Chains A and B, each alone.
Chain A
Amino acid sequence: MLTFILRRIVALIPLLFIVSVIVFGLVLLVPGDAATRLAGGEDASPQQIEEVRKELGLDRPFVTQYVDWLEGAVQLDLGDSLFSQRPVASEIWERVPVTLQIAGGALVFGLLIGIPMGIISGMRPRGIGDRGVVMVTSFAIAIPSFWLALILILQLAVYRNILPSRGFVKFSESPTEWFEHLLLPWITLGTLTAATIARQLRGALADTMSSDHIRTSKSVGLPSTKVVGKHALKNSSAPVLTVVGLQVAYLLGGTVVVESIFGIAGLGTYVLTAVQQNDLPAIQGSVLFIAVLTVLVNLLVDISYAILNPKVRVE
């Protein structure tokens, strides 16, 4: 197992290198750089903009800029934001907990809703419950998250004042307000996750339930809860775990939209602002962080396979 984990971590390195090259290249394709805005925008003269460009090293060849950045990154120094002039690593670290709370909560929401729906649907394919779940999940997959967010804000915050329309409160300040402020973002982001998990579990469970060992379990008189809970679900969990791993990437990316709409300063809005401002160190640093996080989560998923399925361990 340890060798397996180490091998996966080592495989991260070339992957991160490729990601950083691609992101760097894409950013450079966008016209302009941060120098114009930092020099004062339309109030600056072309000479001042050029001065700022030289000060920031933005006039150097692309390869030189990339290598300089890479040298710092391997020492965990992601540079300073061109705008705030604060270390990018600190800025990311300040925002990560907020984003993880949004994404993590959305994942939990997705599991809490998706698993029961998947069980209802998978236990009796083509039954009323299954048809209902298929209809609901189709709708949930089709609706855009930003539309759902706006509808939830209008209906629950603006018209009925049940929940707040925006903002974030730390758990340490008020657990109740923390929950109230995050509930709508969780629902917004977690709806697609719930639908995807439900669909995957439905398919896997339907297959498992028709297998020989389940038939045997039922015929020896085991209660349904034990048949499903102990035997069927365990054997159906692998595809669901795969989906969860994939959903992490979606959830982390989806926080950009959710944080913008709900006015929450997390990693998503940080990346969005950095892109709008051509803040190269901030873009590189945050994308790299998200890439590392995504890969690590998928590593955890792979480890989970090994725990759940002894065959994988042997292989």
Chain B
Amino acid sequence: MSKRLLVAVAIAAALTAVTVGGSGIAGAQKNAKVDPDARLVFGMNMAGGGFSQRLEPSASTSICDVSVGYQVFGTLIRRDTKTNKPVPNLAESWEIVDPSTFTFKLRPNLTFQDGTKLDAAAAKAALDKSRQPTTALARSATTLQLISSVEAGADGRTVTVRLSQPVAGILPLTFAGREGMIAAAASTDTNPIGAGPFKFDSQTVGQQIKLSKFPGYWDAKNVKLAGIDYVHTDTAQNAVNSVIAGDLDMIEGAGLANAPAENDPNVKIEEVSGADYWKLNINTAKPPFDNPDFRKAINYAIDKDAIAKALFGDHAEIATQSYPSNFVDQYQKDLANRYPYSVKKAKAALKKSGVQTPITVQGVGPANNPNFARFGEIVQANLKEIGINVELSQSPNILTTFFANKQGDFVTTLWPARPDPSVTIQRNFTPNQITNAGNNLSPELPTLLAEIQAAESPADARAAYKKAVNIIVDEAYEVPVFFPTLTNVHRDYVTSNDWQLYGTCQGVDFSKLAITTKKG
């Protein structure tokens, strides 16, 4: 055989080997089988204020407790994070009988993880326990306090909830959160028992929580994980490093901290638009912030794009109002360009307000948070351009410092979205709410809120939402800045055929996840 032919054969053989081997590997990855014995190792901050470490729903003091609660208890109703609409979960159907009466029907043959039945009587008992005024949950989830009675139907599956106010329309999405978690009679804080896809095994407080698949879950055949190990992580950067290192399977991502993972071939990042928003919360009772034109000047002067890029890169939607653009029932398109960044318009509004510059105002931000520190610095620089000097301070407890004690003129803060969107209006813009610092806003807003909460569905409330959002934006009661894209960062062997957002405070449903045999 000639030398040339020999070389050609060798090259062909080598190419063939590489192709077959490569496709073998790629093929193996593509066709990797689900490992039914695999456990998901999920990192989250279990020692900070975002997780109350109380596993019993009625003792919950943080909305982020849902991350574990969803798995152990499930919820009566679930929120579809793509459409933001309620979908059945433990309850297979529901009905708004009238604005003050809501009924739901449980799926048949539901059981708790201790073998007891989850029927109408058990659901009534759990809701009655959660809505006691002295429970931590009832204190923070005020919708529960509006429930005047809960009745178990004779069929054993139907439950009727009667309300003291006509707000039945908000219950479907409310029951998609902590309020809709049904605990067994024997459930305690140290041994939570629910009817969710995973049962509680053990907890080392502040360090680790172990759950295992519950075979008696109504949809157990579609649950692909054998269990979940929640482990404590501190900062976002450390958590991302741990995913890259393979010590964690998944975490809730955090903006620019995800950067090291973006180029790692073994790590993937899922993105979903979020409804949490970063903003300036203003004390509208303090001069000159009690002047609408002054507030409008602030809105024009803030370079939202610069702030979003500095903190989240390209992973943010600029906020022009309190709801993101995918909240079709709440978002107002015609307000999208109400306050474009413009120093000229800001100065014009300032002039119209009659406020003399230079003027000094006080801004507050959360302590020990580099992102909020940066946020505050950019705001300070922006306002300086129009003659407003900002003295920035930090507080370890802005709820007390700014909202309760009224120290400072505005605060840089994050508003976490709630399962029920009307809560954003309720908490921020209606009277006697701790997060309404000025408490002097339009009297129309409580009326509009009542209309929203009485509507049978968010779509029916569109007209009321439109009016409310227009008032909030026209009066410039706040300065919404951006909605960060919500992400989760995971190893490539974690798969799902329905990638909803999995994170500490989001519509978490780990029962939709699977781990392939690639994990090893």
**A residues apposed to B, CB below 8 Å:** 30-33, 36-46, 48-49, 51-52, 83-86, 91, 94, 153-154, 157-158, 161, 164-168, 260-261, 263-265, 269-270, 272-273, 276-278
Contacts and interface: CB of A to CB of B under 8 A. Distances in A.
A30 B397 contact: yes
B110 to A, nearest CB: 29
B233 interface: yes
B204 interface: yes
Interface of B: 43, 46-49, 52-54, 61-63, 136, 139-142, 189, 204-208, 231-235, 238, 241-242, 244-248, 260, 395-397, 399-401, 403-405, 423, 427, 432-435
A258 to B, nearest CB: 11
A260 B239 CA distance: 11
Given A42-B399, A45-B142, A45-B434, A166 B54 contact: no
A91 B242 contact: no
4 tightest CB-CB pairs across the interface, nearest first?
A40-B140, A32-B400, A265-B207, A32-B397
Contact of B241 (A91, A154, A277): A154
A69 B248 CA distance: 41
Given A31-B395, A167-B231, A42 B435 contact: yes
Nearest to B63: A43
A157 B241 contact: yes
Contacts of B238: 153, 165-166, 261, 263
A30 B395 CA distance: 9
B136 A40 contact: yes
Contact of B231 (A43, A91, A260, A263): A263
A38 to B, nearest CB: 6
A249 B445 CA distance: 56
16 contacts: A38-B61, A39-B136, A40-B141, A41-B140, A43-B142, A44-B140, A45-B433, A52-B139, A83-B53, A158-B244, A164-B247, A165-B247, A270-B47, A273-B48, A276-B48, A278-B397
Contact of A84 (B54, B401, B423): B54
Contacts, number: 144
B266 to A, nearest CB: 11
Contacts of B242: 157, 165-166, 263
Given A40-B61, A46-B432, A276-B49, A31 B139 contact: no
A36 B397 contact: yes
Given A94-B205, A167-B231, A168-B207, A157 B397 contact: no
A263 B399 contact: no
B205 A91 contact: yes
Contact of A40 (B139, B207, B244): B139
Contacts of A38: 61, 136
Contacts of A44: 139-140, 434
A32, A40, A46, A84, most chain B CB atoms within 10 A: A40
Contacts of A158: 241, 244-245, 260
Given A31-B397, A261-B234, A84 B205 contact: yes
A269 B140 contact: no
Contacts of A261: 234-235, 238
A165 B423 CA distance: 40
Nearest to B399: A36
Contacts of B260: 158
Nearest to B413: A42
B112 to A, nearest CB: 24
Nearest to B246: A161
Contacts of B248: 166
B405 to A, nearest CB: 7
A6 B405 CA distance: 50
A40 B433 CA distance: 12
Contacts of B43: 263
Contacts of B404: 32, 36, 46, 49
A94 B53 CA distance: 16
A246 to B, nearest CB: 27
A45 B235 CA distance: 30
A36 B140 CA distance: 10
Contacts of B54: 83-84
Nearest to A156: B245
Given A36-B397, A48-B140, A261-B234, 9 more contacts: A30-B396, A30-B397, A45-B142, A49-B404, A83-B53, A161-B246, A166-B238, A167-B231, A167-B247
Contacts of A31: 395-397, 400-401, 405
Given A37-B49, A278-B397, A153 B231 contact: no
A32 B140 contact: no
B399 A265 contact: no
A37 B241 contact: no
B48, B142, B260, B399, most chain A CB atoms within 10 A: B399
Contacts of B62: 41
A283 to B, nearest CB: 13
Contacts of B139: 39-40, 44, 48, 51-52
A197 B235 CA distance: 32
B365 to A, nearest CB: 14
A109 B126 CA distance: 53
A45 B432 contact: yes
A89 to B, nearest CB: 14
Contact of A157 (B52, B189, B245, B435): B245
A164 B46 CA distance: 19
A41 B400 CA distance: 10
Contacts of A167: 231, 247
A42 B400 contact: no
B260, B396, B403, B432, most chain A CB atoms within 10 A: B396
A273 B245 contact: no
A270 B206 contact: yes
Contacts of B63: 43
A265 B232 contact: yes
B247 A39 contact: no
B234 A161 contact: no
A265 B49 contact: no
A263 B222 CA distance: 32
Contacts of B61: 37-41, 83
B481 to A, nearest CB: 18
A14 B53 CA distance: 36
Given A42-B427, A91-B205, A165 B434 contact: no
